[in-house]
Amino acid sequence: MDRAGALMAGAALELIHCYSLVHDDLPAMDNDDLRRGRPTVHKAFDDATAILAGDALLTLAFDVMARTEVHADPAVRTALVLELARASGLGGMAGGQMLDLAAEGRFEGKRALNENEIITLQAMKTGALIRFACNAGAILGKADNATRTSIARYGSAIGQAFQIADDLLDVEGDAKTLGKAAGKDAAAGKATLVATLGVDRARARLNELVAEANAALAPFGSKSDMLRATARFIAERKA
Amino acid sequence: MDRAGALMAGAALELIHCYSLVHDDLPAMDNDDLRRGRPTVHKAFDDATAILAGDALLTLAFDVMARTEVHADPAVRTALVLELARASGLGGMAGGQMLDLAAEGRFEGKRALNENEIITLQAMKTGALIRFACNAGAILGKADNATRTSIARYGSAIGQAFQIADDLLDVEGDAKTLGKAAGKDAAAGKATLVATLGVDRARARLNELVAEANAALAPFGSKSDMLRATARFIAERKA
């Protein structure tokens, strides 16, 4: 696989990620003033600028992904565009964010989600982009079905692990290290597995998911050490 | 060219158009309560829903455009994705909307735009999507360069014509026929060619652009009668 092409595909994904942060930080959404230790876009500029900047970043993601630099084969590029759109749209990140706002009681009164509903919501809201990051490698490398299945399994496990680690950080971290406000989930009464299971059971689940991610990598042997390190980093990060 | 594929590509464009209306109507942007005679999304629901609905529509546009139903050849689909992203992103619609807000004096004080600046802004804000609608046909039909140039010339002319007609309607129309508020441009002190040239010269320019659009269609003879009717409709529409 061409390394420069993979980096371009990664850049397209990062554009989606950035747009989602800019829009989610808006007053009408999560109303955050701080992001990566700096003022959020609507604080530094204004809401209109943040809305348009997000729209432009989202659009640029598909511009970048469709370029020949990503892969010489246009069939690979359309597959990536389609997969990225599915991961970030109504059935993925944007839909998950909408369910999250609904669960917070924005629309028709607050409703506590059960464990399975939280897992579904998080699989859409944050899991879909992480799974895409993994699956995109398989698409770029024109991997066979068995390889795709292994990579999808790994992506699904680290996606869930990421969200639990993030929710644990919100409970246990501080704003200075995080570069964003802490304790916001509990204040908003947000549905998280940490709130539902408690810190100890959530941490046990996190460790299970890292083991599951490593198991999925077994067919690749030491070639996948970087992915093993990534799973460990997700579980152990402090910010 | 496959008619069903062309309709799918048109649907993708219409998703972009819808997202732009939903976001532009937001209080932080143009703050419109009425659209097509009905409450705007943020009025019927709330701002968060309108932001996410717009994001999801924008993302779905690229999902639809990348599908095999649009065209069997993935090279055609990636060309469409790329062209749509360019038309709707920073160098097109979203960038034009940002320039428009800047011209209204949102950020650093109001600044009157001259005729050429207004033409540039409008070529980005509304012209780019109309040009895309035309160019997409040429891409789908794998047209030769001469044909592409003729179609691009037609698209550029009707794009400019559309904006002048729209600005004239804002001056001369009424909310009931328009299905949206009238007189908003003048109230906002918005930069339009109608404000700069006056109604009579603007109408003369509109007629020139329709003639230019028809001239661009000359190589196609009567096959392009529908496009001639479209140019006439743009100039003469009342709503």
Tell me whether strands B38-39 and B34-35 are parallel, antiparallel or unpaired: antiparallel
- Indicate if the pLDDT at residue B214 is higher than 90: yes
With CA atoms as reference, the chain A residue closest to B26 would be A48
Nearest to B67 among A19, A67, A82 (CB): A82
Q: Enumerate long-range contacts of A202-206, CB under 8 Å, 24 or more apart.
A: A202/A164, A202/A167, A202/A168, A203/A164, A203/A168, A205/A164, A206/A161, A206/A164, A206/A165, A206/A168, A206/A235
Task: Give tens-digit pLDDT for A195-235.
Answer: 888 999 999 999 999 999 999 999 999 999 999 999 999 99
Render A42-79 in DSSP notation, one character per residue: HHHS-HHHHHHHHHHHHHHHHHHHTSTTT-S-HHHHHH
User: How far are the Cα atoms of A16, A52, B195, B207 from residue B51, in angstroms, in the given order?
Assistant: 15, 11, 31, 38
Q: Which pLDDT belongs to residue A2?
A: 84
A-contacting residues of B 76-105, CB under 8 Å?
Answer: 77-78, 81-82, 84-86, 88-90, 94-95, 97-98, 101
Render A116-129 in DSSP notation, one character per residue: HHHHHHHIIIIIHH
d(CA A15, CA A21): 10
> Tens-digit pLDDT profile for chain A (239 aa)?
689 999 999 999 999 999 999 999 999 999 999 999 999 999 999 999 999 999 999 999 999 999 999 999 999 999 999 999 999 999 999 999 999 888 887 777 677 788 888 889 999 999 999 999 999 999 999 999 999 999 999 999 999 999 999 999 988 876 566 566 666 666 666 778 888 889 999 999 999 999 999 999 999 999 999 999 999 999 998 87
User: How far are the Cα atoms of A51, A115, A147, B16 from residue B65, in angstroms, in the given order?
Assistant: 23, 36, 28, 11
A interface mutation test: which of B81, B99, B100, B125 has the most A CBs within 10 A? B81
Average model confidence (pLDDT) across chain B: 92
> Quick check: B160 and B150 in contact, CB under 8 A?
no
A47 contacts B98? CB cut-off 8 A: no
d(CA B12, CA A63): 15
Tokens of B9: 């590509």
Q: Which pLDDT belongs to residue B2?
A: 84
Tokens of A238: 């402090």
- For residue A164, give the 3-state DSSP assignment: helix
- Indicate if the pLDDT at residue B110 is higher than 80: no
Tokens of A164: 């639990």
Tokens of A52: 């348009």
User: How far are the Cα atoms of A217, B16, B64, B77 from residue B12, in angstroms, in the given order?
Assistant: 38, 7, 6, 12
Nearest to B88 among A59, A77, A86 (CB): A59
List all residues 6 or more positions away from B85 whose beta carbon is below 8 Å from its beta carbon.
Answer: A59, A60, A62, A63, A66, B62
- For residue B73, give the 3-state DSSP assignment: coil
Render B75-101 in DSSP notation, one character per residue: HHHHHHHHHHHHHHSTTSHHHHHHHHH
Q: What is the dihedral of CA A24, A25, A27, A32, to 10 degrees?
A: 140
- List chain B residues with CB under 8 Å of A54: 55
Q: Which pLDDT belongs to residue A182?
A: 61
Render B151-209 in DSSP notation, one character per residue: HHHHHHHHHHHHHHHHHHHHHH--HHHHTS-SSHHHHHT---HHHHH-HHHHHHHHHHH
Q: Greatest CA separation found in chain B?
A: 51
A89 contacts B59? CB cut-off 8 A: yes
Q: What is the ipTM of this complex?
A: 0.91
Residue A39, beta-bridge partner list: A34
- Judged on CB neighbours under 10 Å (0-12, 13-18, 19+), A220 is middle
Of residues B49 and B110, more confidence is placed in: B49
A95 contacts B56? CB cut-off 8 A: yes
> Quick check: A163 and A19 in contact, CB under 8 A?
no
Q: What is the dihedral of CA A9, A11, A12, A13, to 10 degrees?
A: 90
Tokens of A34: 């701080």
Tokens of A53: 């900047």
B86 contacts A81? CB cut-off 8 A: no
Q: Which pLDDT belongs to residue B112?
A: 76
- B183 — pLDDT class (breaks 50, 70, 90): low
First-last CA distance in chain A:
31
B interface mutation test: which of A47, A55, A71, A76 has the most B CBs within 10 A? A55
- List chain A residues with CB under 8 Å of B60: 85, 89-90
Find where tokens 């799974």 sit: A131
Tokens of B110: 């109001």
Q: Which pLDDT belongs to residue A80?
A: 98
Inform me whether the C-beta atom of residue A72 falls under 8 Å from chain B C-beta atoms. Answer: no
Q: Compute the C-alpha angle B138/B193/B185, nearest 5°.
A: 105
Min Cα–Cα distance to chain A from B148, Å: 21
Query: What average pLDDT does range B9-13 have in this prediction?
Result: 98
Q: Which pLDDT belongs to residue A165?
A: 95
Min Cα–Cα distance to chain B from A8, Å: 15
- List chain A residues with CB under 8 Å of B107: 45-46, 49
B107 contacts A45? CB cut-off 8 A: yes
A81 contacts B78? CB cut-off 8 A: yes
> Quick check: A191 and A121 in contact, CB under 8 A?
yes
Query: What average pLDDT does range B36-63 have in this prediction?
Result: 97
Q: How far is CA A215 from the centre of its chain?
A: 21
Of residues B71 and B105, more confidence is placed in: B71
Min Cα–Cα distance to chain B from A21, Å: 12
A52 contacts B94? CB cut-off 8 A: yes
Inform me whether the C-beta atom of residue A54 falls under 8 Å from chain B C-beta atoms. Answer: yes
Q: Compute the C-alpha angle B94/B97/B103, nearest 5°.
A: 145
Query: What average pLDDT does range B147-158 have in this prediction?
Result: 97
Q: Which pLDDT belongs to residue B187?
A: 66
Q: Which pLDDT belongs to residue B173?
A: 72
- For residue A179, give the 3-state DSSP assignment: coil
Nearest to B98 among A26, A52, A98 (CB): A52
